[in-house]
Structure 1
């Protein structure tokens, strides 16, 4: 590895190599003998990273303890840099994607609650999903003034989710494909045969291919809808916070759609029917209490009591399936619903990643009882419901 070389003029400072600085930031002070010292901006980045990741107790054991940044004294006392100072620094020093990662690690890995409970911090942060999750987890620590400021984060992120998810959810209910052409270019409505016919004039026999200049798409016609029920049962344990957020937004998107009556029920060891607040997902989320135990069986029994016509009902259990109640009772309830003709979904995740961590044993038993088990994005759930409702 090369080292910085001297400048042309006598006494000129060594030029900074951005690649070497990047490695120095990654590897810590021990690499400085190979990379050379950091420039002023990289040193400021190093200090911001140290404020956060210097809390990792494994660093010393691995021999990777970072150097103490200039201007800071040693010892076991708390850092003189506040969360407000740190946020100001990272917003000045890092790109947006890195800032969101740093904020996520601060609130989720190191549980630095000041990020969302300090009024000065809340006045500076840009709303994003990481901070929304943090607000929902820590709002019980907030006084009314701070809670009012935190609500700004909830409103902004929920508004963004609604704007992105509502068209996708509603589009699933616009009906089946027809033979009429559409100007809306959706991959699922691509008209292969019509596209080939419309572009045959551009066939290249030597290369045996058709150049597509005018793709064709089917339009969709509204289906005749009979009344169905969708009952969303949402586990509000702390690990399911992403699914809680997306369930609230999805329920708001589905509310008042023709042919569908939507219920939203949250549960831990108790069951709370939130259907009356579905049209205001911000208020709904501000009222959710994350944490506590999990009694899925009790929630499933409550859902069974809501069902009017099993053959026109979808019960979606959104949970990681780590049951703190009676798993045998849960399986019996699910089997009874399926035998009566209801559609039961076991969703280990309902969010935009659909990447779940869940109890596979209990999920497998629910699948054997007749439930459809997996993970879905809100759009996939909407398409599943639309297909059922439109039959």
Structure 2
């Protein structure tokens, strides 16, 4: 019985999804077979997803395209032509993150062909110490492109939230009772005086515009740079760069593991921050918070944002003591358990709860929500 075109299209899609092991069941008894264009897709998919079979102890079958038969750059160029952009970016991310296809990251020409995204930025940063010297310029270029993408996505959120919200606040307060200007109101409405009732009809009340002092806020970003925090480190560097450009914010950027490094002098340059941080190592949150305590000069206009998984590797008592002192000084304390697009927090909930008990507000937020939270605190 002949197959309908829709049946053939469905078989074709399933064959490409399931790979060569589905050939006999999908095509052997039905006469269905891949055409020449499909085989291009098949071979390109095989190059990447046959690694899944290898991870399960299966070997490549005859006709499969092993890494010795195709260079990573050739595969990238072929995949970009054959698949839609969204599919290609997902394949590239899986090649690096899931299958460890590090050949993609060892040749400057290949790196230049990669589509810049978070997955690529993370992979390059994680491998930075193992890359050859000739790769440095290529890595910097890719990291710059990834940072530019993040800045384009987040800048508007932070500028609108931190700067724009103040203007909305000011307008909403113009008509409050405490701003009522009775002298100007009487003077402007005298012509509406009703002699019979001996009442002044107020057609248009007048209010004084509140003058709000625009003293700058100090925002201290205290960022955990242990290996599990790579997403947060990337977003934190970008957030520091954005905040550094705002006239009413003074940014201090501190990164830590068991050591504490003040990168405030680089806060305006997210790329340089990312190429400077040393990912990995243990965690001493208490030491970092105690250092940040020394940076506080105007407690009531200071926000300390601790970005960490709260997995304290040192004795926790000094950490809690420092947080209590800062809270008593009226520093606004924010604890961010996650700072990425997915907001899938994996953190020490017991430590987070104890920090909250000491006066720190703790939440797991996306960068967009962090912008709103920061604006609420500063306004």
Q: Same fold (TM over 0.5)?
A: yes
> Number of residues paired by the alignment?
335
Whether 1:35 and 2:31 are equivalent positions in the alignment is: no
- Moved beyond 6 Å, runs of 4+: 178-181
2:372 is matched with which residue: 349, 358, 383? 383
Query: Counterparts of 1:150 and 1:338 in 2: how far apart (Å)?
Result: 41
Query: Counterparts of 1:42 and 1:274 in 2: how far apart (Å)?
Result: 52
Query: Counterparts of 2:357 and 2:72 in 1: how far apart (Å)?
Result: 50
Give the aligned partner of residue 121 of structure 1.
110
Query: Counterparts of 1:228 and 1:179 in 2: how far apart (Å)?
Result: 18
- Output one character per residue of 1:123-172: Cα deviation in whole Å (capped at 9) or x when no partner: 32222222111111111122332110121111112112222221221111
Give the aligned partner of residue 215 of structure 1.
none
Query: Counterparts of 1:222 and 1:21 in 2: how far apart (Å)?
Result: 69
- Provide structure 2 residue ranges, at least 5 long, that are not aligned to the other structure: 28-32, 173-209
Q: CA RMSD in A?
A: 2.8
State the TM-score, normalized to the length of structure 1: 0.77
Task: Give the SS at the match of 1:374.
Answer: strand
Tell me, yes or no, if the aligned pair for 1:3 and 1:35 is still in contact at 8 Å: no
Give the aligned partner of residue 226 of structure 1.
215
- Provide structure 1 residue ranges, at least 5 long, that are not aligned to the other structure: 6-13, 182-220
Give 1:109 shift: 1.8
Tell me, yes or no, if the aligned pair for 1:16 and 1:39 is still in contact at 8 Å: no
Whether 1:310 and 2:275 are equivalent positions in the alignment is: no
Give 1:361 shift: 2.0
Matches within 5 A, 1:1-391: 4=3, 17-36=8-27, 37-56=33-52, 60=56, 68=61, 70=63, 72=65, 79-172=68-161, 173-174=163-164, 175-177=166-168, 224-390=213-379
Query: Counterparts of 2:374 and 2:34 in 1: how far apart (Å)?
Result: 56
Q: Which has the higher helix share?
A: 2
Q: 1:321 to 1:264 in 2, by over 3 A?
A: same
- Output one character per residue of 1:1-28: Cα deviation in whole Å (capped at 9) or x when no partner: x9858xxxxxxxx999232122122333
State the TM-score, normalized to the length of structure 2: 0.80
Tell me, yes or no, if the aligned pair for 2:306 and 2:336 is still in contact at 8 Å: yes
Query: Counterparts of 2:345 and 2:211 in 1: how far apart (Å)?
Result: 34
Query: Counterparts of 1:59 and 1:143 in 2: how far apart (Å)?
Result: 28
